[in-house]
Structure 1
């Protein structure tokens, strides 16, 4: 059983920033590849190749998984896969800036969903970070111009629905990462395979088109291994240390990495929208990092929750192992008389209990065995043949119990007599 370590917000923030950088680096590469490959085919090949990569690294990671992990991974994959498909289809009816802004609205949708679904109270400073991230997203997208492209309301609604699915994916992954049986590697692999199959079902209508040249295969390898395999894996581990809403704020910094890549590799000029948007995003990321007190409180709540789970598991195990005495002990075909006050819960079910009631004048089973052993030693001294006394001890014990029963019925107060 995998146990999630104590939250480390700084390490989680670094992992989530890597996710944002990996996904941001995929944008210019996909923008180049979609001129030669259909978007649906590119998505299917990208995610299936990422799942195959993780499976080759750890081929035994899917063995012995509980049904819950398979179910959660499939649900997460379907949510993200439908979101990716809707976003890709809606690109034909929206300019890239509007599509990016609509997807970026997930930074606002995530805390609202957390408040409605999980009743999670978001700290005020995180709300400030959400507002700054939205403003930075606006500077990076809408303020850079949308051209004269026609905006389809249906495509805009599909993109916003994709943003809602992405936010639900973040909340569900954050909820699963707090469980003791959280298996991030296997869950990531199942997610990627499900996303690949979901997007592939849409792209398979007119056949799957593969990359033509070696350069396209290299671009696809980067998209699959770095952006998908490593990105989703880092996200699964990162959200175990950072709550869902701050995670959404940290991952919303993709436009910053897209702008950096555009400036460094494609020699794009730095505009004022990049500077303003980058500053707003930096402030949002600083506000989204969990405070130490919040992390300690979350760690304590997780510890109490784990203790409660352990206590419930132990209680169920003890309840299953509880012995119920259903068959009463009968000697010579009759029920042995027993005093009313006894250490047994049911006197009729255990007439010869291991510890007798003090002052009751009734022997315990331990004293009877000890007395039978003494009688055997008196009748036959210890020697080389003493090992055969096991069966004789049992017969002597039965005789002694019979004598005690007769004496008890006769009203004699003494139970043990040496003959």
Structure 2
């Protein structure tokens, strides 16, 4: 696998920069991803949600083909196609449903409810590997449910989650399925090639859904601000975010990298307050805090629990 050999070569050659540079890159990724929630919310005024996601993946696929055409020519084969489709279909469904859900909720709620996929992954992986989730996963799940309960308590119409919130939770399920698929198929394939196929599969899925469910937009009538927003989503959130994540995770310990990337939801709320005018009430803040705590426990819990068990021996 080319990606693995490159990683080993990089490790053998040593880091070209201090660790904090790569940590800063992961933090920047979280900032970029957090900003995309507000940016996508604004694009919904100009285009229907499924067409936006189809356009996003279509442009991202073209960009990946232009940048990595030599790697595609060298490594693309049936195995990469099958693996990319297996990873791309749940990802495409996740983004599709998430963006539809964003119509009926705020960027901050959308971001934190999406983050619950981190808590779902150990339980979905259980179905694939038959490896039971540890105690930390159970604690994280309970904490996450409490957080979602507080979000329901903060609803505008009393207790309950809106349609947009519920759709976002469904999207989190597909994002968790995407993570499980990456763990199953990703390691044996070239990273950039399989990512390109993944984007292409997501594009085909979203395009088919858009053609079936939404009217074809008038692309010529779209304002310049819309294309600027799409430029941010494609170039920064999708392309640059992917590169920073891949480079950063080669040099930063996995748990620390996951925590830095999970700050995406925190930045999404900050941007939503500043640019979207989202009001943070005490129940909403409690819900955000509990979900973030659940994500943190799901990432760091296994290592901490393992050390405690070793300490007792």
TM-score normalised over the length of structure 1: 0.55
Distance 1:136 1:90, change over 3 A: closer
Q: Which runs of 5+ in 1 are unaligned?
A: 295-419
- Specify the alignment match of 1:147 in structure 2: 157
What is the distance in 2 between the residues matched to 1:14 and 1:45?
30
| Residue 107 (1) aligns with residue 118 (2) | yes
- Specify the alignment match of 2:37 in structure 1: 27
Structure number with greater Rg is 1
| Residue 220 (1) aligns with residue 195 (2) | no
Give how far 1:176 is off.
Answer: 3.1
- Specify the alignment match of 1:198 in structure 2: 205
2:185 maps to which of 176, 196, 199: 176
What is the distance in 1 between the residues matched to 2:166 and 2:277?
34
2:54 maps to which of 44, 47, 51: 44
TM-score normalised over the length of structure 2: 0.71
Q: Which of 1 and 2 has higher RCO (CA within 8 Å, sep 6+)?
A: 2
**Aligned residue runs from structure 1 range 267-286, under 5 A:** 271-273=281-283, 276-277=286-287, 279-280=289-290, 283-284=293-294, 286=296
- Specify the alignment match of 2:194 in structure 1: 187
What is the RMSD of the two structures over their aligned residues, measured on CA atoms?
4.3
What is the distance in 2 between the residues matched to 1:19 and 1:221?
16
Distance 1:157 1:286, change over 3 A: closer
- Once the two structures are overlaid, the 10-residue window that deviates more, 63-72 or 116-125, is 116-125
Give how far 1:43 is off.
Answer: 1.0
Give how far 1:283 is off.
Answer: 4.3
**Aligned residue runs from structure 1 range 321-340, under 5 A:** none
2:96 maps to which of 78, 85, 91: 85
**Aligned residue runs from structure 1 range 369-388, under 5 A:** none
Distance 1:239 1:22, change over 3 A: same
- Specify the alignment match of 2:175 in structure 1: 166
Give how far 1:50 is off.
Answer: 1.9
What is the distance in 1 between the residues matched to 2:207 and 2:183?
27
Give how far 1:73 is off.
Answer: 0.9
Distance 1:116 1:236, change over 3 A: farther
Give how far 1:171 is off.
Answer: 1.0
